[in-house]
């Protein structure tokens, strides 16, 4: 039986979206049977059913609309998600805590001079495309800081993304409200002891590819990839707000803090 939208609820009109997996589709069907579903364009809030990958896709899809996203885990890890339940959804939304995050803007020039841009919620990664180590030069706000980084690549991560690929590459975990970016090498060969840098989130990172024809490099912003790049600029897009909703006691900031203590 479908319940009418509660006019007193914080978010009355809800759109339910899911991945095509059986668990996620079954969860969506159960929620639509219990609550009124509207099209995303008409919704006050988007409920995303899946895993972290689907949450990132949903955030990208509605980037710039201001619509908050409330995720429920029907995937595996579910770091960005809330626990799944069909009960008391209006009540959960009414007391949900909002986390506002900003994406990175990646601007790329490839070997043919073509330019492209994309946004990343987690990180922008530069990755070698061949058996040879990538060679890169790194500048911050127009000043060269590292004349040679040789290795598998490098990444620039937001606080949200600091617990993802960045952490796997031994980068630092950043609190959600820290006005910082993590610049982290990936399997650095030279300089051997360089562990990366913490940068203010107003910084502009420029990475130039050395020997791009001999040592090709791909640039990746979340799920957008461009190969054979020559230079990449990365900066936080403070003008774009993304709103994630979490149950009290399970905010994104709390989850990031827990990661620092290993649970």
The neighbour count for residue 34, using CB atoms within 10 Å, is: 14
Separation of alpha carbons 230 and 83, rounded Å: 43
Q: Which of 44, 68, 64, 42 is nearest to 55 (CA)?
A: 68
Helix (H, G, I), strand (E, B) or coil at 176: coil
Tokens for 225, please give them. Answer: 């990839």
Q: Which of 23, 52, 112, 141 is catalytic?
A: 52
83 catalytic per annotation: no
Separation of alpha carbons 229 and 212, rounded Å: 7
Rg (CA), the chain: 20
DSSP H/E element including 236: strand 229-236
Q: What is the DSSP letter of 65?
A: T
CA angle 130, 134, 137 (to 5 degrees): 155
Separation of alpha carbons 198 and 218, rounded Å: 23
Q: Token match 């201001």: residue?
A: 66
Q: What is the DSSP letter of 84?
A: P
Catalytic residues: 52
């Amino acid at each position: 039986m479908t319940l009418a939208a509660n006019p007193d609820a914080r978010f009355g009109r809800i759109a339910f979206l899911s991945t095509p997996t059986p668990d996620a589709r079954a969860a969506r069907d159960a929620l639509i049977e219990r609550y009124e579903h509207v099209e995303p364009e008409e919704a006050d809030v988007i409920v995303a059913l899946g895993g972290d990958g689907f949450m990132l896709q949903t955030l990208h899809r509605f980037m710039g609309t201001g619509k908050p996203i409330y995720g429920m885990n029907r995937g595996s890890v579910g770091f960005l998600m809330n626990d799944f339940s069909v009960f008391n959804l209006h009540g959960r939304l009414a007391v949900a805590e909002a986390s506002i995050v900003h994406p990175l803007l990646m601007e790329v020039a490839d070997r043919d001079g073509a330019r492209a841009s994309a946004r990343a919620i987690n990180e922008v990664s530069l990755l070698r495309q061949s058996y040879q180590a990538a060679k890169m030069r790194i500048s911050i706000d127009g000043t060269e800081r590292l004349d040679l980084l040789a290795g598998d690549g490098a990444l620039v991560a937001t606080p949200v993304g600091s617990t993802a690929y960045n952490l796997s590459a031994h980068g630092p975990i950043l609190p959600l409200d820290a006005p910082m970016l993590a610049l982290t090498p990936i399997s650095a060969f030279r300089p051997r002891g360089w562990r990366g840098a913490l940068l203010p989130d107003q910084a502009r990172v420029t990475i130039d590819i050395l020997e791009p024809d001999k040592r090709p490099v791909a640039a990746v912003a979340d799920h957008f990839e461009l190969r054979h790049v020559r230079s990449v600029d990365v900066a936080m897009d403070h003008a774009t707000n993304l709103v994630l909703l979490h149950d009290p006691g399970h905010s994104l900031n709390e989850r990031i803090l827990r990661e620092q203590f290993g649970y």
